[in-house]
Structure 1
Amino acid sequence: MVSKELHFTKAAEKLGISQPTLSHQIKMLEQKVGYALFNRIGKKIELTKVGEIVQQEALNIQSSLQSISSQIEAFMKVEIGELKIAVLPGEITDLVSTLCIQFNQLYPNIKVFVQSTDQVEKTVLENQADFGIGFQFNRYDILQVTKLYDEEFYLISNQSNGEQRISFSSVLDGPLILFPGMHQCRKILDKTSHEIGRQLEPIVETSSIESILKLVRSGIGRSIVSRTLYEFYDTEDLFFQYIENPVLTKEVYLVLKKNCFINYAARKYIELLVREIEKLRFHTEEDAIASLQNSIL
């Protein structure tokens, strides 16, 4: 302000401080720099060559601070930045990836990285992901684990036999088209079949849900998929049955670090996820969802 007004009294008035205070601050700055910043000629002053250098650098600093503020504001409003999500391989990955379509439509300038991993907790703990989604998590003190909903599994086919429910052992009697062994749904099926003394022998294995649905439509066999996938994909021409004896369900959890900054992108994605879960009428624990929503506001 002094370099702009070239007058201490006028500069002090513009800054809202006393003239002696301003003069003292300029003297302290000159002592720090080691050179005079102004030539004082009677009541008039002018910038020295050193003063011109300091003035230019000060303007550069001011511009940088404004740029920092603008970038932070843009980041908080999801105009720029990225979102990293860690998920277990399988239907959770499909759910998260499918929601990315809606998220991109709402926030086209945000980059989303979906990491499919068996070590969701480790990824979140090491700050490689903003949050994670999966079936089971250890209750670390520094992690906030929230149950999102109960995942059900359906038997799907291209024609109806008029029965709403079917026993798991009966499911194994017909040809099956299933995900490969690394898929979370398949792990549940392998474990359950082993418990009843049976062995899964699918006629086709594929990691593509689109391929599974296409094969089921063609009548090659039936399949077992999560309700998440059944609801999220075009399955109006297919039929589903509830599986019982035993019932196949899995609890889906969201995990994030406690007392950590949750960026705007992560908050908005979690809000979108919760809305979709509620819209599909999954069985949720209202208190847990409310607690999650309060923690990310």
Structure 2
Amino acid sequence: MPKTDTILSAKSLRYFLQLIDTMNYTQAAQILGITQPALTQQIKKLEHAIGVPLFGQMGKKLYLTEAGKEMETAAVELLGTINSVVNDIQEFTQADKGSISIGILENLDLNIFRKFLIEFNKEFPDVTIDVNSFNRRELWQQLDNNLIDIAIMYLPDTTKRNNINLQQQYDHSEVYEDQMVVLTHKDTVDANETYPVSRFTKRKWVAYPKTFYLSKLMDDVYGKKNKPIIPMRFSSTSDLVKVAENSDLDTFVTKSYYEAHKQKISLTPVFLKNSKSFEISLVYRKGKMEIPRIENLLTAWADFLKQKDYSSRLQDR
């Protein structure tokens, strides 16, 4: 048996591609849920089987060798073939059994989706639902490698995804048109009105981490010449609001979050001019609807929103 037979597994190829995505052993291992030594060992085994280094190092930075670049192309093609075979098999599985894996963007409010999944479980008790939160880059990595069936995230998204074209590889279903809402202490503005960002450039903010979707939106609104003054950052939306309410800092959240919690929020909500809207969307690989249990879930979700739309359900909270 050639030594490559036991090395070129789907797992080793995913490890290899994840390391390319981050170019950092520690980050790649965290995303994969393994230890750094385990990842290092897998890469060394892969290089030993092929006979040449796939990665080089300049200082502390990794780079792909020419052999690594060739291997990347082959790995993407091989995983694509494996994923296609898996999908073909799943098409014939029973509709009322099996598992569905869902990835949700880390700062999305789960309340409405949680209520839906409780109802879906009552109808299909033998379908196991696995739900996990990820950041944007991790979500695309999970989707690209077929590790999750459905992602619930914001679109449009500009996260680098190995040049994979969304329209060619994925289908998506829009759930709710969202936008950024500023929650401010300013007493010279009116609630729910729109103002230029110049009215807020001297304000200080409690904000999401730099990699979060809304942080990027706020940077875009401020433009290249200015930067928001941010002395504090939190990943939890509820923490943002609590800190803002108990300090002189302003903050910004999604309209969907504000609509669901506005009865408890004391700050004044306003909108910023030139702030782009975005969609909460369900994203999944083309062909997933052909798998019976996933088709049932997506159909049930559509029926759930027909009974009462997403906006109305936000108001119910």
Query: Aligning the two structures, in what range does the TM-score lie when normalised by the shorter sequence?
Result: 0.5 to 0.7
Provide closer, same or farther for how the CA distance between residues 74 and 87 of structure 1 changes in structure 2, counting only shifts above 3 A: closer
Mapping for residues 238-277 of structure 1, pairs under 5 Å: 238-259=266-287, 260-261=290-291, 262-269=294-301, 271-272=303-304, 275-277=308-310
1:175-224 CA distance string (max 9 Å, x none): 211111021101111233233x1112212211111111111222431111
When normalised by structure 1's length, the TM-score is: 0.56
Q: Percent identity?
A: 12
Query: Does 2:147 match 1:124?
Result: no
Tell me the C-alpha RMSD between the 2 structures.
3.2
For 1:173 and 1:102, locate their aligned partners in 2 and report how far apart those are by CA, in whole Å. 41
For 2:305 and 2:215, locate their aligned partners in 1 and report how far apart those are by CA, in whole Å. 24
Mapping for residues 1-297 of structure 1, pairs under 5 Å: 72=94, 74-75=96-97, 81-90=98-107, 94-95=108-109, 97-106=110-119, 107=121, 110-117=128-135, 118-132=137-151, 133-136=153-156, 138-157=165-184, 161-163=188-190, 164-195=193-224, 197-233=225-261, 235-259=263-287, 260-261=290-291, 262-269=294-301, 271-272=303-304, 275-279=308-312
1:150 aligns to what SS in structure 2?
strand
Report if aligned partners of 1:89, 1:184 keep a CA contact under 8 Å in 2: no
Q: Which amino acid aligns with 2:148?
A: A
Higher mean C-alpha deviation, range 241-250 or range 176-185 = 241-250
Unmatched tracts of structure 2, length 5 or more? 1-92, 158-164
1:119 Cα deviation (Å)? 4.8
2:4 aligned partner: none
Report if aligned partners of 1:152, 1:249 keep a CA contact under 8 Å in 2: yes
Q: Which amino acid aligns with 1:217?
A: E
Report if aligned partners of 2:183, 2:267 keep a CA contact under 8 Å in 1: yes
Report if aligned partners of 1:87, 1:134 keep a CA contact under 8 Å in 2: no
Report if aligned partners of 1:178, 1:202 keep a CA contact under 8 Å in 2: yes
Provide closer, same or farther for how the CA distance between residues 101 and 156 of structure 1 changes in structure 2, counting only shifts above 3 A: same
Q: Which amino acid aligns with 1:242?
A: V
Report if aligned partners of 1:83, 1:266 keep a CA contact under 8 Å in 2: no
Report if aligned partners of 1:84, 1:115 keep a CA contact under 8 Å in 2: no
When normalised by structure 2's length, the TM-score is: 0.53
How many residues align? The count is 202
Unmatched tracts of structure 1, length 5 or more? 1-70, 76-80, 283-297
1:88-138 CA distance string (max 9 Å, x none): 443xxx23x223431354237543312414254453343322222332363
Report if aligned partners of 2:208, 2:214 keep a CA contact under 8 Å in 1: yes
1:230 aligns to what SS in structure 2?
helix
